[in-house]
Amino acid sequence: MSTKKKLNIGLIGGGFMGRTHSNGYNRVANFFPALQYTPVLKAVCFRNESKLKGFAEQWGYESTETDWRKMIKRNDIDAIDICTPNDTHAEIAIAAAAAGKMILCEKPLARNLEESQQMVDAITKAGVANTVWYNYRRLPAVTLAKQIIGSGKLGQIFHYRANFLQDWTINASLPQGGEGLWRMDAAVAGSGVLGDLLSHCIDTAMWLNGGIKDVTAMSETFIKERMHQLTGKVEKVGIDDACSFLCHFSNGSLGLFESTRYARGHKALYTFEINGANASIRWDLHDLNRLEYFDNSDESIVKGWRSIHVTDGDQPYMNKWWVPGLGIGYEHSFVHQVADFLESLETGKPCSPTFAEAHQTQLVCNAVQESAKSGSWKNTGVSN
């Protein structure tokens, strides 16, 4: 008989993230066999009843719910996983915390600072385990970047540069809002590329390079009015289509961030580059197993950017997968986050980013939004 402890999962939302998380829960025991906890797919909940049963069958959920409130009340659920659009995160998380459930919440933590503060307060009061799915941290090449920076190899860091570029909304006839299009609706999403894309860049940046002190930003909405799918009315668009900002990190380095859904030709190009006195690092989501590294102390005859294929067993997470030389994919970052969350239950050490840490990202997003409106520099209030 298995001596593993069961962690009963209640997943809310069966779209893009519902699938990546379900895959994570299903894969983790095979590839992280030493973990004491094993996730059990107890229940899945979303509103589209016609797809709910099929989803449950496809991914192996034992039961279904159409109302998340019912799911939260169930005694056979230990952890609530929030994979719904941003306008639901606060309400669900606060109710789940009050019911004593552990919470794994999708990013951005909330639509705005007020909501995210309430979520942090609720989780602190309840004292339940929590994490936010800023999953890019858990791609092996990005985790390796963290280790290299932590070892001091870069020396003093001068610059941090990040981009997240897409092109899927360059189309005036695309409606704002509705099923599958909630990212276009400011009332649901909270913001456009800022919360959707830049929040990822900010999370990774503060993890790798420390707190962001202050920002100056600009944002643009290129298509000013769109038809709303739910009302049929043409209405003013409230989201940012593009948003960029400059910042100071508390370690003295300068940051430059750009995100847009109007970079024709780019579907999901997330890149970052860090320049230190002794070495530089750069990473590109389109080639996610590689980390590029330039070391100024290399002999001049071999000096140049190296491309590290992060697939060796002594590199982050890779001893859990195949053999050296064989890469992994986007979906593995979610398997890793599940594994790290389960491990955190064994060790009692929080699974980063926690709600409190994701709230720091929300502070930066808030300052970016305010600066883009006012045109002036804004302090973020980030704590480190």
CA within 13 Å, CB half, 110: 24
Q: Is 253 one of the binding residues for ligand NAD (CB under 6 A)? A: no
Nearest distance from C-beta of residue 188 to ligand NAD, angstroms: 9
Find the shortest distance in angstroms from Cβ 62 to ligand NAD.
18
In the list 14, 177, 190, 211, the residue contacting ligand NAD (rule: CB under 6 A) is 14
List, in order, residues 6 or more apart from 57 with CB less than 8 Å away: none
Q: Indicate the residue among 92 and 148 with the shorter CB distance to ligand NAD.
A: 92
Q: For residues 117 and 250, which CB has a smaller minimum distance to ligand NAD in the complex?
A: 117
Nearest approach, Cβ of residue 351 and ligand NAD (Å) = 14
The residue (of 66 and 156) whose beta carbon lies closer to ligand NAD is 66
Dihedral angle at the C-alpha atoms of 281, 287, 164, 363, nearest 10 degrees? Answer: -60
Nearer to ligand NAD, 135 or 219 (CB): 135
Judged by CB under 6 A, the number of residues near ligand NAD is 24
Q: Of the two residues 90 and 157, which places its CB atom closer to ligand NAD in the complex? A: 90
Q: Where are the beta strands (DSSP E) in the chain?
A: 5-12, 37-45, 63-65, 79-82, 102-105, 130-132, 157-165, 212-220, 225-227, 234-236, 242-249, 254-260, 269-276, 279-284, 290-295, 306-309, 378-379
Q: For residue 49, what are the CA distances in angstroms to 182, 237, 315?
A: 19, 30, 43
* Closer to ligand NAD by Cβ: residue 12 or 247: 12
Q: Is 364 in the site for ligand NAD (CB under 6 A)?
A: no
Residue 111 tokens, joined:
């639509």
With binding defined as CB under 6 A, does residue 88 bind ligand NAD? Answer: yes
The residue nearest ligand NAD at its CB is 15
| Span 159-198, contacts to ligand NAD by CB under 6 A | 180, 182, 196
Helices 199-209 and 140-150: angle between axes, nearest 10 degrees? 30
What is the dihedral angle through the alpha carbons of 334, 337, 343, 347, rounded to the nearest 10 degrees? Answer: -170
Under 8 Å between Cβ of 332 and 311: no
Nearer to ligand NAD, 118 or 250 (CB): 118
Is residue 133 near ligand NAD by the rule CB under 6 A? yes
Instruction: Please report how close the Cβ of residue 106 comes to ligand NAD at its closest, in angstroms.
Output: 3
The least CB distance from residue 302 to ligand NAD, in Å, is 37
Of residues 322 and 330, the one with the C-beta less far from ligand NAD: 330
By beta-carbon proximity to ligand NAD, the closer residue of 185 and 258 is: 185
Contacts to ligand NAD from residues 42-81, by CB under 6 A:
45-48, 68
Measured CA to CA in angstroms, residue 254 lies from 105, 172, 227, 247 at distances of 30, 36, 40, 6
Strand partners, 259: 164, 243
- Helix 355-374 crosses helix 199-209 at what angle (to 10 degrees)? 120
Q: What are phi and psi of 317, to 5 degrees?
A: 70, -15
Give dist(CA 213, CA 227) in Å, integer.
38
- Single out the segment in contact with ligand NAD by CB under 6 A; choices: 40-48, 148-156, 240-248, 295-303: 40-48
> Contact region for ligand NAD (CB under 6 A) — 83-91, 167-175, 248-256, 358-366?
83-91
Cβ atoms 329, 286 nearer than 8 A: no
Shortest distance (Å) from residue 96 CB to ligand NAD: 13
Which residues sit at the interface with ligand NAD, rule CB under 6 A? 12-18, 45-48, 68, 83-86, 88, 106-107, 133, 135, 180, 182, 196
